[in-house]
Amino acid sequence: MSQSPAGPSKGTSFMLAAIGIYLSYFLHGASVIALAQNMTSLAEKFATDSAGIAYLISGIGLGRLVTILFFGALSDKFGRRAMILLGIILYMIFFFGIPYSPNLMVAFCLAFAVGAANSAIDTGGYPALIECFPKASSSAVILLKAMVSFGQMLYPMAVSFLMVSSLWYGYAFIVPGIIFVLITLLVLKCRFPSQAVDAAVLKDLPQMRQQPSYWGEGLMAVIFGVAAFSTFYVIAVWMPRYAMAFGGMSESESLTTISYYSIGSLVCVFAFAYLLKSKVRPVWAMVLNSLIACIASLVLFLYPTPLICKAGAFLIGFSAAGGILQLGVAVMAEFFPKSKAKVTSVYMMMGGLANFVIPLATGYLSQISIKYIILLDFGLAVLTLLTSLYLFRRYYAIFSIPAKDVRFGEAALHQINRFP
């Protein structure tokens, strides 16, 4: 499927393409929790237990890991629309197929397919948004986090409605599948930008004056992404247990820490969607958020009171879960503009590996003391800060900033000759 000619002309809008991508990520948020949300019904259907459904869910992660590097290369070669359509087709196979799966093995294959769909959407959607809005790419990309969060917030409500209404659980799969059919029509109809940035737009963006290195800036960006992902993953999983064990909170009260964490995440997404458009450079946001995560996790470790647990969960939700992964993708795309999908796939794949390794590490530490898990979180936040500082320094060594695009703090850096 061809892209539209290089760069948008006046009057040409890629808003429909962006809407299609955002709607896909809204349903992506639902897809990653769909099996868990319908665990009871699926366990009964397949005559298995929660362990069997956990095995089924593992197919999502496997499908993602196996395909993401391959799909990244395909996206750079065949275009963003093709990968997004592939992802949508795989999502439809999953949503329409699960309610009618004859056994657990077929369902596992469908779970693998939705993991592959995640990869296709990531390697097509992220680069497409960056190319749709080259002057506000970070704002466009960080809003994906909000769409995923909204999907994960509303889908459980829909499942709950079906349960209390004694309706068939399959509607929780069929309805998203139908919505994907409509998204398919939208993606087929709308225009997509060229993978090359229009020259008229390019002159207003930071200009590259030296080539970045995959083993320098690329490697540090990947380490940043892994550390950032791990920082918020640890809190999302272990914060209630830590608040109960060391914060003096009851079980019901400790669960509210995740609500504070989620609120912090959404506040950050919308705050930085505004700030990143023209006021703050993404590398500044990465350093600031990493610093906040360091301070919050250290205070959580040293002074675990109920108030600190709630505030710490909010701040780590704000700083680590509020789109910091998406900021890393946007910065990597700036460093490597000709391989946006490929570097996105590497970045996301390493996050997937962290999703496998961190539970093993925290499970081991929990047998000693849950407090060491929060200490690990502090260490990961420090690693996030150190890599963000490296990327910050290298960004201004590699790019020159156009006079009309000077943002927060950059005038001061210019005065002390930190960049020309």
Domain assignment of residue 3, yes or no: no
Q: Say if residue 162 is in the same domain as residue 242.
A: no
Task: Tell me which of 202, 224, 258 is where a domain ends.
Answer: 202
Q: Say if residue 174 is in the same domain as residue 224.
A: no
* pLDDT given for residue 258 in this prediction: 79
Helix axes 219-246, 251-278, angle to 10 degrees: 150
Task: Tell me which of 158, 186, 202 is where a domain ends.
Answer: 202
Backbone phi, then psi, for 399, in 5-degree steps?
Answer: -110, 145
* pLDDT given for residue 419 in this prediction: 52
Domain assignment of residue 307, yes or no: yes
Q: Say if residue 73 is in the same domain as residue 194.
A: yes
- Total structural domains in the chain? 2
The mean pLDDT value of the chain amounts to 83
- Mean pLDDT in residue range 267-290: 85
Q: Say if residue 284 is in the same domain as residue 239.
A: yes
pLDDT band at 109 (very low <50, low <70, confident <90, very high): very high
Domain assignment of residue 1, yes or no: no
Buried b (16+ CB within 10 A) or exposed e, 183-212: bbebbeebbbbebebbeeeeeebbeeeeeb
Q: Say if residue 271 is in the same domain as residue 411.
A: yes
- pLDDT tens for each residue of 144-165: 888 888 887 788 888 888 888 9
- pLDDT tens for each residue of 331-369: 887 888 777 777 778 877 777 777 667 877 888 888 888
Q: Output 83 or 53, whichever has higher pLDDT.
A: 83
Domain assignment of residue 55, yes or no: yes
Determine which of 27-41, 102-116, 275-289, 331-345 has the lowest per-residue pLDDT on average.
331-345
- pLDDT tens for each residue of 216-230: 888 998 899 889 888
Q: Say if residue 138 is in the same domain as residue 244.
A: no
Look up the CATH number of the domain holding residue 355: 1.20.1250.20
Domain assignment of residue 194, yes or no: yes
Backbone phi, then psi, for 207, in 5-degree steps?
Answer: -95, 130
Domain assignment of residue 2, yes or no: no
pLDDT band at 205 (very low <50, low <70, confident <90, very high): low
- pLDDT tens for each residue of 86-101: 999 999 999 999 999 9
Determine which of 19-33, 200-214, 219-233 has the lowest per-residue pLDDT on average.
200-214
Q: Say if residue 178 is in the same domain as residue 226.
A: no
Token pair, residue 323, equals 């789109």
* pLDDT given for residue 114 in this prediction: 93
* pLDDT given for residue 238 in this prediction: 84
Highest mean pLDDT among 199-208, 239-248, 397-406: 239-248
**What is the distance between the alpha carbons of residues 4 and 333, in angstroms, rounded to a whole number?**
20
Share of the chain above pLDDT 90, in %: 29
Q: Say if residue 190 is in the same domain as residue 68.
A: yes
Is the model's pLDDT at 276 over the cut of 90? no
The three-point CA angle 25-26-28 to 5° equals 55
CB atoms within 10 A of CB 73: 14
* Dihedral over Cα of 315, 317, 318, 324: its sign: positive
Is the model's pLDDT at 322 over the cut of 70? no
Domain assignment of residue 6, yes or no: no
Q: For the residues of 96-158, what is the DSSP string, one character each? A: HHGGG-SSHHHHHHHHHHHHHHHHHHHHHHHHHHHHH-TTSHHHHHHHHHHHHHHHHHHHHHH
- Mean pLDDT in residue range 298-316: 93
Q: Say if residue 371 is in the same domain as residue 230.
A: yes
Q: Say if residue 279 is in the same domain as residue 181.
A: no
Highest mean pLDDT among 34-38, 293-297, 331-335, 393-397: 293-297
- For the chain, the farthest-separated pair of C-alpha atoms sits apart, in whole angstroms, at 69
Q: Tokens 């930008």 appear where?
A: 193
Q: At 191, which amino acid appears?
A: R
Task: Tell me which of 178, 202, 226 is where a domain ends.
Answer: 202
Is the model's pLDDT at 2 over the cut of 50? no
* pLDDT given for residue 11 in this prediction: 32
- Mean pLDDT in residue range 198-211: 65
Q: Say if residue 84 is in the same domain as residue 216.
A: no
pLDDT band at 120 (very low <50, low <70, confident <90, very high): very high
In terms of residue numbers, what domain contains 335?
A: 207-415
Is the model's pLDDT at 321 over the cut of 70? no
- pLDDT tens for each residue of 45-71: 988 887 788 788 878 888 888 888 888
Q: Say if residue 248 is in the same domain as residue 316.
A: yes
* pLDDT given for residue 7 in this prediction: 41
Q: Model-level pTM?
A: 0.76
Domain assignment of residue 9, yes or no: no
pLDDT band at 10 (very low <50, low <70, confident <90, very high): very low
